[in-house]
A = this chain, B = another copy of it.
Amino acid sequence: MVSFESDYIAGAHPDVLKALIDTNLEQLPGYGTDQYCESAKEKIRTACECPDADVEFLVGGTQTNAVVISTLLKDYEGVIAADTGHVSTHEAGAIEHSGHKVLALPHVNGKLEAQTVKEWVERFYADGNHEHMVFPGMVYISHPTEYGTLYSKAELEELSAVCRRYDMQLYLDGARLAYGLANKQTDVTLPDIARLCDVFYIGGTKCGALCGEAVVFTKNNKPQHFVPLIKQRGALLAKGRLLGVQFDALFTDDLYFRIGEYAIEKAEELKAIFEKHRIEIYLPSPTNQQFIILSNERAEKLQDTVSVSFWEELNETHTIFRLATSWSTTEEDLKAIDNALGSL
């Protein structure tokens, strides 16, 4: 049985694990004040070409979204997101639990369009009653999106301009950023993201780390007293080194980018296998998540040997599944699915 269920089915990339092993016995101060955190932050600033950025490490994706959104928004503000956005649907209401509304707008292939945002915000301010409504304080996007799709640089620039114009912060959820940056067609670089967004995070958990996300505040906008803010949200690790050491490894010798490239390569091979077996694609994705349509019968048979992720029902007879590649995807995994699809 091999698994394409997600990009978090394995532990840490071997180089990340090695860094943890190598530093395991070092005596280091707690709560993220160690030298590895410092070094990792500096490497991230360099990679972002944003020397003044404030970088902070948090443990997981939903935690990061809730911390960033709830510490940057005013009480009367909510966050605009695509209705398919992770914060809109799959965080068990973490944003609302923090007191803020997710203002869900229609998506196009998982993406939020600048025009959609602009029209909504203009209508909001035109409404004489808007002091009785939730103010738009931030725009949340994910890149890659929940459907594996990517924004172009022009699209990010438009979104950024709308945010500037209406005094909203632009926040990019980079849970799978490595795969977005590694795509060969993309014209969006890490420095572009740092320039166009007010805050974003570089995902570790789904890109080679055991856990950990690096939040980057790019506009001198890190909330004051971030330590108590995250401590009271249960997000401060005593052994902060666990995050520092891992991100230091991820940003040494371009490991983060190489992890992305490898997974994209494997995703291309996977797509070739789909094509070979004439598997219907639900939505073409340029990154490491692939969405296919299978009849329920074939799906059941496939899952005898290959584990994939239920995405949603297409209709009564067919279902959409997600398959993800990562640094841990092997040739054997690909052979196994090739065989499995061949024998359906």
Chain A: residues with CB nearer than 8 A to chain B?
2-3, 5-6, 8-12, 14, 17, 20-21, 23-30, 59-64, 66-67, 70-71, 74-76, 78, 89-94, 96-102, 104, 123, 126-129, 131-135, 205-206, 210-211, 224-225, 227-229, 231-239, 241-242, 307, 310, 312-313, 328
- The complex is assembled from copies of this chain, and their number is 4
Chain B residues with CB under 8 A of A132? 90-92, 227-228, 231
Chain B residues with CB under 8 A of A238? 6, 8, 60-61, 205-206, 211
Chain B residues with CB under 8 A of A232? 62, 66, 75-76, 91-94, 96-97
Choose among A2, A21, A310 the residue with the greatest number of B CB atoms under 10 Å from its CB: A21
State whether A3 and B21 are in contact (beta carbons under 8 Å apart), knowing that A8-B238, A100-B96, A101-B96 are contacts in the complex: no
Q: Which of B5, B62, B241 contacts A236 (CB 8 A)?
A: B62
- A9-B23 in contact (CB<8A): no
Q: What is the minimal beta-carbon distance from A30 to any residue of chain B, in angstroms? A: 5
18 contacts between A and B (CB under 8 A): A5-B29, A8-B30, A9-B29, A11-B23, A11-B239, A12-B24, A60-B236, A63-B235, A74-B225, A75-B97, A90-B132, A93-B99, A96-B100, A96-B134, A101-B102, A127-B312, A132-B228, A211-B238
Q: How far is the CA of A228 from the CA of B75 in the complex (A)?
A: 9
Chain B residues with CB under 8 A of A24? 10-12, 14, 17
- A242-B211 in contact (CB<8A): yes
- B8-A234 in contact (CB<8A): no
- B10-A237 in contact (CB<8A): no
- B134-A93 in contact (CB<8A): yes
Q: How far is the CA of A6 from the CA of B61 in the complex (A)?
A: 29
Chain B residues with CB under 8 A of A225? 74, 76, 131, 135
Chain B residues with CB under 8 A of A70? 75
- B94-A96 in contact (CB<8A): no
Q: Name the residue on B nearest A23 (C-beta).
A: B11
- B66-A11 in contact (CB<8A): no
- B233-A94 in contact (CB<8A): yes
State whether A228 and B135 are in contact (beta carbons under 8 Å apart), knowing that A5-B29, A234-B233, A242-B210 are contacts in the complex: yes
Q: How far is the CA of A145 from the CA of B181 in the complex (A)?
A: 48
Q: What is the minimal beta-carbon distance from A302 to any residue of chain B, in angstroms? A: 16
Q: How far is the CA of A8 from the CA of B237 in the complex (A)?
A: 10
- B99-A97 in contact (CB<8A): yes
Q: How far is the CA of A205 from the CA of B59 in the complex (A)?
A: 14
Chain B residues with CB under 8 A of A234? 59-60, 62-64, 66-67, 94, 233-235
Q: Name the residue on B nearest A64 (C-beta).
A: B234
Chain B residues with CB under 8 A of A100? 93, 96
- A27-B12 in contact (CB<8A): no
Q: Name the residue on B nearest A238 (C-beta).
A: B8
Q: Which of B17, B94, B313 contacts A231 (CB 8 A)?
A: B94
Q: Name the residue on B nearest A17 (C-beta).
A: B24
- 8 more contacts with CB within 8 A, not counting A62-B232, A92-B231, are A5-B27, A60-B234, A75-B229, A92-B134, A93-B101, A104-B104, A135-B228, A211-B211
- B17-A21 in contact (CB<8A): yes
